[in-house]
Amino acid sequence: MLDINLLRNDPELVRENIRKKFQDAKLPLVDEVIALDRENRDTMKQADSLRNQRKVLSKQIGALMGQGKKEEAEAVKAQVNAAAEELAALEKREVELQEEIRKRMLVIPNIIDPSVPIGRNDTENVEVQRYGEPVVPDFEIPYHVDIMERLSGIDLDSARKTSGNGFYYLMGDIARLHSAILSYGRDFMIDRGFTYCIPPYMIHGNVVNGVMSFAEMENMMYKIEGEDLYLIGTSEHSMIGKFIDTILDESQLPQTLTSYSPCFRKEVGAHGIEERGVYRIHQFEKQEMIVVCKPEDSPMWFDRLWQNTVDFFRTLDIPVRTLECCSGDLADLKVKSLDVEAWSPRQQKYFEVGSCSNLGDAQARRLQIRVKGSDGKKYLAHTLNNTCVAPPRMLIAFLENNLERDGRVRIPQALRMYMGGKEYIG
């Protein structure tokens, strides 16, 4: 959510940003907010004037009663009562106006970073760099579900019976591999100085509204019927929510946290065969990175976060590339975002395995996450998040890139201690 002063002082900047995100339908919101804000400030002035008038009249009543001028005092009382009724109406209007302003402000997109490439959708994202040599072996790479089934590692049919499409049973060495990758991801991030955390897996509606847009919520979140609780789609939701309504001393920054959680998503829409299996699913697990920092430090932390993911995948011998997300592909709260994609030898292309985002002060403004500076002044923090690793989707890249001709799967050195010393499975 933007600072209202930006719309008051530079509405054209806000309009131009909306155009860059190809959301022209939202352009009228700028004028609507400006008009509502003007009315709100006028209403507040009228209300303040009435409050001052009421104080003056109340003093007059006391003075008149002390002088025995009862009739005159009653007349002034009538003025006070009339003013009270008018004030109540104005205060009610204030609340209505503030709600209308907030409703519109919540859907006006954040100002994107000047470095963000302009484009309509993810087809116009820009490749930044490749890490590792993408290899296509001289033997066929089976579909990832087939690899898992040959290793007796997945049961989708039973999951459909118990839970429906988009769920799975992982079994045996594949289940162990799944857990090993998460354990390695946890230790990898701890070794990089992040504090390990396991957060709540359900959050209140006000936290949901604080960390994401309404459109994202509708397409992602599962609501618990009859309760003000939502299942998290990523631990970022509850980890950023951890700081709601807090004032952090500047000396406490940065807050660098790495969190494990299961994640639950609706994954609305139809998808092709390569996105079935365990690519787009309703339940998965993830090791996440969260940073709360000073505004001037967020660009540096952005680069450090996505580099962590690149380094993690390279230790597992998986080639990756980074993609700069274009303006039209950015969620409304994001200032800048970069995807990490892993190489798929089967598809002979890269696919997304992580996303790094700088949200500026958008989440902090919604959740009132403030910092007290050394001069005693308060300001809004910046928040960032990034995926370290999210199996079982990540298993697709792992299995394809480490598959041997004989059907075995090689375990990279970094992971062997989590797999009981095994060099291969299969």
The least confident of 81-85, 131-135, 264-268, 336-340 is: 81-85
Report DSSP state, residue 280.
Answer: S
SS3 content of the chain, % helix, strand, coil (to 5): 50, 20, 30
* Predicted confidence (pLDDT) at residue 274 exceeds the cutoff of 90: no
Q: Which helix (H) or strand (E) holds 214?
A: helix 214-220
* Predicted confidence (pLDDT) at residue 269 exceeds the cutoff of 60: no
Please report the pLDDT score of residue 74 as a whole number: 66
- pLDDT category, 270, cuts 50, 70, 90? very low
Mean pLDDT (the chain, rounded): 93
Please report the pLDDT score of residue 55 as a whole number: 75
Please report the pLDDT score of residue 171 as a whole number: 97
Give the closest residue to 181 by CA, choosing from 352, 350, 313.
313
- pLDDT category, 276, cuts 50, 70, 90? low
| Mean pLDDT confidence for 192-220 | 91
Check whether domain 122-425 has CATH 3.40.50.300, yes or no: no
Domain coordinates of the chain in residue numbers?
4-105, 122-425
Q: Which residue has the higher pLDDT, 204 or 62?
A: 204
C-alpha distances in Å from residue 179, one per residue of 104, 123, 171, 173, 404: 43, 33, 11, 10, 22
* Predicted confidence (pLDDT) at residue 71 exceeds the cutoff of 90: no
Please report the pLDDT score of residue 379 as a whole number: 97
Q: Which residues contact 228 (CB under 8 A, 6 or more apart)?
A: 204, 205
Distance CA 325, CA 342 (A): 16
pLDDT tens digit string along 354-408? 999 999 999 999 999 999 999 999 999 999 999 999 999 999 999 999 999 999 9
Distance CA 171, CA 150 (A): 12
| Mean pLDDT confidence for 129-141 | 95
| Mean pLDDT confidence for 17-44 | 97
Please report the pLDDT score of residue 295 as a whole number: 97
Return the bridge partners of 151, or none.
none
Which amino acid belongs to residue 242?
Answer: K
Sheet strand arrangement including 222-223: 202-203, 230-231, 222-223
Helix (H, G, I), strand (E, B) or coil at 333: coil
Please report the pLDDT score of residue 320 as a whole number: 98
Distance CA 236, CA 242 (A): 10
Half-sphere exposure of 201 (CA within 13 A, CB side): 12
Distance CA 332, CA 362 (A): 9
The least confident of 1-5, 37-41, 68-72 is: 68-72
Tell me, which fold does domain 4-105 have in CATH? Helix Hairpins (1.10.287)
* Predicted confidence (pLDDT) at residue 63 exceeds the cutoff of 80: no
* Distance from the Cα of residue 80 to its chain's centroid: 50
Express as a percent the part of the chain with pLDDT over 70: 95
Exposed, middle or buried by CB within 10 Å (0-12, 13-18, 19+), for 56? exposed
* DSSP assignment string, 9-42: H-HHHHHHHHHHTT-GGGHHHHHHHHHHHHHHHH
